[in-house]
Amino acid sequence: MKEQAMTPAKISVKNTTFTYGDGTQALKNINLDIRPNELFVLFGPSRSGKTTLMRLMNRLSDLIDDTTREGEILFNGQDVFGRRTDITDLRRRVSMVFAIPTPLPGSIYDNMTYGLRMAGIRDKAVIDERVERGLQQAAIWDEVKDRLDSSAFALSGGQKQRLCLARSLALEPEVILLDNPTSGLDPISTATVERSLYELKQTYTIIMVPHSVQQAARVADRAAFMLNGELVEVGTQQELFLNPHDKRTEDYITGRFG
């Protein structure tokens, strides 16, 4: 534990409060440190602020009009809301995969290369290599390798979801934000994705909103339980799922509400 405490946080959320235009306070004074190469799980009932918190980390929250924010979020020690932040670069390094798969118009290959080309990578060999590795890491390579030129819309829901994950991985980010990445997946694909998450965290830092408490307990290194915009409890997998301190965490994990 001492060693971990010494490692500088990859992402550090400090005193963050976030309010939407309609007055809904989505986040209430959140403090949280995410360490490099860990799989950090944010869980809790819906509308508890998990997605909002994720979207703040790479400033996708900028897209929503009329919000107010307090506190700061540090990525590698730099305030992401600071004036000198290059937002595009930030989003390449802190890449997000959404709960609803969002393939873009075009072929599977196009989807994989959008981000790379927009990042200014032109070398075909590099692009192809990243495409293949991304698809393999997202456990979809075998299913699509023979039809990279067909439309991404023709894929099944679960395949779309993995394609979106692969698309982010091809960018080789530092942090991957996964908002319920297995929502539309069957148990076999879910297991495949979970296995590759284990591989991925050797290279990346992963923050994930899980599909269920069970999944949270399966994959998390550390986890945080959120409820109505509050961060109730943060701890390692052992602490949180076997021996929660807070009554609300215990009730949620044991299924008394949620």
Partner 1 sequence: MAAQTNLNSMPPQDEATTPTNWRELVIENLIRLAGISAVLIITMIFLFLLREGFPAFVEVPLSDLFSSRWYPIEDKFGLLPLLAGSLIVTVGAVVIAVPLGLTTAIYLGEIAPPWQREILKPFIEVLAGIPSIVLGFFGWVALAPLIQSMGAPSGLTAFTGSLILAYMALPTIISITEDALYAVPKEYRDGALAIGATQWQTIWRVVLPAARSGIVIAVMLGIGRAIGETMAVMLVTGNAANIPDLGFGALFQPVRTMTATIAAEMGEVAQGSLHYSVLFGIGIVLFIITFAINSLATYFVGGGKRRRGGQI
Asked whether the beta carbons of 96 and 177 are under 8 A apart, the reply is yes
Q: Is residue 164 part of the contact set for partner 1 (CB under 8 A)?
A: yes
Residues in the chain: 258
Q: Which is nearer to partner 1, 161 or 249 (CB)?
A: 161
Rounded Cα distance between 217 and 236, Å, is: 10
Residues 32-61 that bind partner 1 (CB under 8 A): 58, 60
- Of 35-43, 68-76, 93-101, 228-236: span binding partner 1 (CB under 8 A): 93-101
Query: Closest approach of Cβ 32 to partner 1, in Å?
Result: 21
Closest CA to 26 of 7, 51, 1: 51
Q: Which is nearer to partner 1, 6 or 63 (CB)?
A: 63
Number of residues this chain uses to bind partner 1 (CB under 8 A):
28
Q: Is residue 118 part of the contact set for partner 1 (CB under 8 A)?
A: yes
Q: Which is nearer to partner 1, 137 or 249 (CB)?
A: 137
| Secondary structure of residue 72 in the 3-state scheme | strand
Q: Please list, residue by residue across 158-193, b when 16 or more beta carbons sit within 10 angstroms of its beta carbon and e when fewer do.
A: bbbbbbbbbbbbbbbbbbbbbbbbbbbbeeebbebb
Phi, psi at 134, each rounded to 5°: -60, -45
Q: Is residue 215 part of the contact set for partner 1 (CB under 8 A)?
A: no
Query: Closest approach of Cβ 119 to partner 1, in Å?
Result: 6
Instruction: List contacts with partner 1 (CB under 8 A).
Output: 58, 60, 63, 65-66, 88-89, 91-92, 95-98, 100, 102-106, 114-115, 118-119, 153, 164, 167-168, 171
